[in-house]
Amino acid sequence: MVTETEIKLRISPATLDALRQHPLLLARSQDGWQTGTLTNQYFDTPNRDLAAARVALRLRRDGDQLIQTLKSRGQSVAGLSERNEWDWYLDTEQLDTRLLDDGCWPAALADLDKGLLQPLFTTDFQRCKTLLRWQRDDQLVEVEAALDHGQVLAGEQQEVICELELEVRQGPAEALLELALALAADLPLMPCDISKAERGYRLFDSANYNLRPSNPDWQLDSCVDDVIAGAGWQLLGYSQRLAEQYRHAGQWRLFRELTQTLSSLRASFAVYDLALPRSSVQDFVPALDRLLQQFRPLVLAGWADDEVGRAAREQAPALFEQQLADPAWGQLFIGLALWLRQRGWTRNRPPKGERIGALPLAKWLLAAVAKEIQELRVPHHNEGDGAISEWMDQQPRLARLHFLLSGFRGFLDASEPDRLFGELNKLQALLEQYPLIEAEQRPLLLDALRKQGQRLRKLNAWRELNG
């Protein structure tokens, strides 16, 4: 068994051609580009038992070599994946189930009749690869770069493969992200958290692709630095899975959820006080803000079941493709992955930041939520209509509260945190509607905002957090 660590980046055919001639890759290449054709047959049972156990089994022909491979799904965030892999070289083009013993076979499949395994789908592509080698801080790094172009075939369904894979052979995983970030400086690269096997399964069932990364195992005494890392990886991973699935399926709900996830990621930068200094995210905030400035108006307009709403929903795919074609997409999300991997927020932060970073989750959360609640300017029934601009200005604070309560309210020492979360969300939804409605409807909405402010003030959690 080996542990495979690689980063997968979706590219266009034009970018694939540009990468073959990229000066950085040519300078580090040890053997030039070597081209060959890989044919891969994937196996599973009729009930998809292997997919359910999160493993993939394939038989590959690479020139004269026949290789049987079993892979675990592992973890994949922003294209960077780590998974276990077992390879066996065969003499005949037949699956050898005797090799699938307890040393590699998942315990969840111990009772499976391996005679049920049958061909399911194929991934056939041309691979152009080279071995890269360079020095990083007096450490030798070796990476295999592979440009894959072909297709996945599953029954009558098919999907194009066009991607760059970078697999570390020697050196740290950070070297992959650094190389990918350097290539993203002038080429559009999309971090891709879906394997070729997952693409095959997705062709049978679009819902087969798991969008949500697993939740971090938070505890009351988890330190803030671990919260920053865990929540950051979760939001980054979820946003990239949503982007991949929206690119594939084009479903409006995925675009809405992607925009909300990016909004939560943006809000998360501002809730940790000096534990996460603003200077540590200064490279990401402008790009993230630009994305949200383009996505949010479509999401808000798209709620309407009228011509304006339909137009917004129809514009979203073209806008999304436009963003993917901009190198800024890869720069943002590959850069965030490297920042999280290196815990970039801990560098050169002040002593107070060190103390906050070491606080337990429960203590930090109570203080963070209380601070936002105490400074939140909610509508009051005694205020005139002119106060709407001040209420609208509260939306960034409401976004921060949404992030804090959506992920951590189970650890909040306050009465009925779920109810607090729900009422704050209602206030945020009302404020978002205000710019979209006709002038004659605004008095009704202003009245609803005042009533919502009153409901919030009556909550026990509101009073406790303001005490």
Answer yes or no: is pLDDT of 407 > 80.
Answer: yes
Confidence class for position 76, pLDDT limits 50, 70, 90 = low
Burial class (CB in 10 A: 0-12, 13-18, 19+), 149: middle
Over range 244-262, report the average pLDDT.
Answer: 96
Q: Has domain 1-210 been given CATH number 2.40.320.10?
A: yes
Answer yes or no: is pLDDT of 77 > 80.
Answer: no
Confidence class for position 64, pLDDT limits 50, 70, 90 = confident
pLDDT of residue 335: 97
Confidence class for position 174, pLDDT limits 50, 70, 90 = very high
Confidence class for position 75, pLDDT limits 50, 70, 90 = low
Confidence class for position 162, pLDDT limits 50, 70, 90 = very high
- CA dist list (Å): 398 to 95, 133, 373, 401, 406: 56, 48, 9, 5, 12
Helix H or strand E segment including 198: helix 196-204
360-374 as b/e, with b when 16 or more CB fall inside 10 Å? ebbebbbebbbebbe
Q: What is the mean pLDDT of the chain?
A: 93
User: What percent of the chain stands above pLDDT 90?
Assistant: 79
Over range 441-455, report the average pLDDT.
Answer: 94
pLDDT in tens, 87-134: 999 988 889 999 998 888 988 898 899 999 999 999 999 999 999 999
Answer yes or no: is pLDDT of 155 > 90.
Answer: no
Confidence class for position 459, pLDDT limits 50, 70, 90 = very high
Residue among 214, 173, 184, 183 nearest 81 (CA): 173
Over range 64-77, report the average pLDDT.
Answer: 81
Residue among 289, 323, 301 nearest 396 (CA): 289
More confident residue, 5 or 76: 5
Answer yes or no: is pLDDT of 200 > 70.
Answer: yes
Over range 375-397, report the average pLDDT.
Answer: 93
Confidence class for position 447, pLDDT limits 50, 70, 90 = very high
Over range 217-224, report the average pLDDT.
Answer: 94
CB-based contacts of 376, cutoff 8 Å, min separation 6: 394, 397, 398, 401
Over range 399-412, report the average pLDDT.
Answer: 96
